Amino acid sequence: MTHRFDTAAPGGQAPRILAEAHELVGAAARVFGRDEYARTLLADCEFRLREPLRVALAGSIKAGKSTLLNALVGQAVAPTDATECTRVVTWYRDASTPTVTAHAADGARANVIVRRGSGAHGLTFDLSALSWDAYGPREVDHLEVGWPSAALAQTTIIDTPGTSSLSREVSLRTARLLTPAGADGNARGRSAISAPGADAVVYLLRRLDATDVSFLEQIGAGAGGAGPLGVIGVVSRADEIGAGRIDALHSARDVAARFAGELERTGLCQAVIPVAGLLAFAASTLRQPEFAAFEALSTVPAEDLGIALLSADRFARADIALPVAPELRAQLADRFGLFGIRMATMLIRLGVRDSSSLAAELAARSGIEELRSVLEIQFGQRAEELKAHSALSTLNRILSAYPGTEADRLLPRVRARLADVHGFTELRLLGRLRTDELPLPPPVLADLHRILGGTGVAPHLRLGLPAEADPNTLRTAASTAVRTWRARAAHPLADQSTATACRAAARSAEGVLAELPR
């Protein structure tokens, strides 16, 4: 089963933003018609406005990025074993046939041999015998994987090397992809202009340390507004937090709440979600023989099965008397983990009777559905705005590097779009709502979060009404919201931050009103 982010624009604002970005990039291309370097950068801006949203998976080494990618796509497309390919940036795009291509920094390409792994390891990309061309061997700059997938048709996913790798160069590859000013923030001159490779980021956390906070600050859009506008945190490998116990995800939710609380002070993430990536991927690819094995294991007394599940090695031992062959037990431990085995057998004891029902139950308990929902709301429904922000931020940097030219005429228009586009304002406010600690009652803060699009950008979601609400009801609610938020913004006791947020809410309500049919 595969899923995709819904990138349909809820109203007229997103297409207008995209059209304005296209117009400004085109105008800049005419200005720099003879500058090959600027033309190349502008062509990339134009291309990313037309292609799917780019979402990068980032985090420390062994955080589970490749496993989460496989779970989101619903297929084993990313290698999860520690091989050379996990040390380079890998782009996953939709394609008619599966292909894997290695790219060098000078533009050379080479086909990569793909080997099918066993168990949870999926594929392996063999980079040991690349055939570049007559000019000899090169270092791999990045990999590009083309794969037929409904999920990748809507979203290009970028798997990045670990940010805490022992190799500084490996860690810098991720920083260079996500930070527009270069990994050290000291880019100088026209030749150092670069564009952020992603429009949004899913950052995987196993623990929240200074390295994670520093990297989130580095890639955050708050630093000059140039980085990716959307950042979602994921407490990855959540099933391991509770040592594989049946209540592991409850423990993971407590950890996620603590991480979210600590990140609230900086506003670096728009949400923090616990996910058991291994279980999520295994659930999406559950096989009938595996279901039969879980059925057999569910007949074992709980105490005896619990003793067998003290460790993966013990569970797969041939001298442990269980109604499943040791080889299949080892496969179950590899694909589902101890938590997944405990969860699957418990669900069957509670009445789950077929493999499709078990897969759905395991997926729901893995946290992947909650993550998909957050990604759809924060990224999918705002895809056009996120892409436009990336393109305009890059265009701003290009024009700033050419002072005293016709670029000076375009620069104010670009900066005005970055400052005035209300969708950008909403995204920044949603990321800062908790941080600002606005002196508003909790119900009012909930209304503010909703009207800014925090639960979805459709008019009825912003207004807190049912999906079947008629246009007159929506119009009345939107008009009331405009008046209410304007009054709150004008309240004499409202501080500057509160007044700014309330004015933004009023403008969001006005946008809803403008979208409704007269």
For position 226, what pLDDT does the model report? 55
Phi, psi of 427 (to 5 degrees): -65, -40
Report which of 142, 146, 72 is spatially closest to residue 109, judged by C-alpha positions. 142
Average pLDDT over residues 305-322: 91
- Which tokens is 425 given? 């304002």
User: Quick check: helix, strand or coil at residue 166?
Assistant: coil
Angle between helices 13-31 and 422-436 (to 10 degrees): 110
Query: pLDDT grade, residue 187 (50/70/90)?
Result: very low
The DSSP secondary-structure symbol of 221 reads T
User: Quick check: helix, strand or coil at residue 243?
Assistant: coil
For position 7, what pLDDT does the model report? 38
Model-level pTM? 0.80
Query: pLDDT grade, residue 502 (50/70/90)?
Result: very high
For position 158, what pLDDT does the model report? 93
Which of 26-35, 170-179, 313-322 comes out lowest in average pLDDT?
Answer: 170-179
Q: Where are the beta strands (DSSP E) in 311-433?
A: none
**Residues 85, 105: Cα–Cα separation, whole Å:** 16
**Residues 276, 344: Cα–Cα separation, whole Å:** 14
- Which tokens is 432 given? 């800062």
Query: pLDDT grade, residue 185 (50/70/90)?
Result: very low
Q: pLDDT tens digits, residue range 12-21?
A: 456 788 889 9
For position 213, what pLDDT does the model report? 81
Report which of 305, 356, 304, 363 is spatially closest to residue 333, judged by C-alpha positions. 305
User: Quick check: helix, strand or coil at residue 375?
Assistant: helix
Domain ranges of the chain: 79-148, 280-366, 438-515
* 154: Cβ contacts below 8 Å, ≥ 6 apart: 4, 5, 6, 7, 52, 53, 380
The CA-to-CA distance between both ends of the chain, in Å, stands at 40
Report which of 155, 149, 89 is spatially closest to residue 125, judged by C-alpha positions. 89
Query: pLDDT grade, residue 404 (50/70/90)?
Result: confident
For position 184, what pLDDT does the model report? 42
Report which of 122, 4, 56, 63 is spatially closest to residue 275, judged by C-alpha positions. 63
Q: Is it the case that residue 221 has pLDDT exceeding 80? A: no
Which of 59-73, 92-106, 168-182, 302-316 comes out lowest in average pLDDT?
Answer: 168-182
Mean pLDDT, rounded, of the chain: 82
**Residues 363, 299: Cα–Cα separation, whole Å:** 23
Q: Where are the beta strands (DSSP E) in 438-497?
A: none
Average pLDDT over residues 372-376: 87
Query: pLDDT grade, residue 192 (50/70/90)?
Result: low
Contact assessment for residue 33 and residue 136, using Cβ atoms and an 8 Å cutoff: no
Residue bearing the bigger pLDDT, 222 or 238: 238
Backbone torsion region of residue 373, taken as left when φ is above 0, otherwise alpha when ψ lies between -120 and 50, otherwise beta: alpha
Q: pLDDT tens digits, residue range 445-471?
A: 889 989 998 888 889 999 999 999 999
For position 354, what pLDDT does the model report? 94
Residue bearing the bigger pLDDT, 230 or 134: 230
For position 181, what pLDDT does the model report? 54
For position 362, what pLDDT does the model report? 93
For position 322, what pLDDT does the model report? 94
Q: Is it the case that residue 225 has pLDDT exceeding 60? A: no
Percent of the chain with pLDDT over 70: 83
Q: Is it the case that residue 147 has pLDDT exceeding 70? A: yes
**Residues 472, 480: Cα–Cα separation, whole Å:** 12
**Residues 494, 73: Cα–Cα separation, whole Å:** 46
Query: pLDDT grade, residue 112 (50/70/90)?
Result: confident
For position 434, what pLDDT does the model report? 53
The DSSP secondary-structure symbol of 117 reads -
The DSSP secondary-structure symbol of 245 reads -
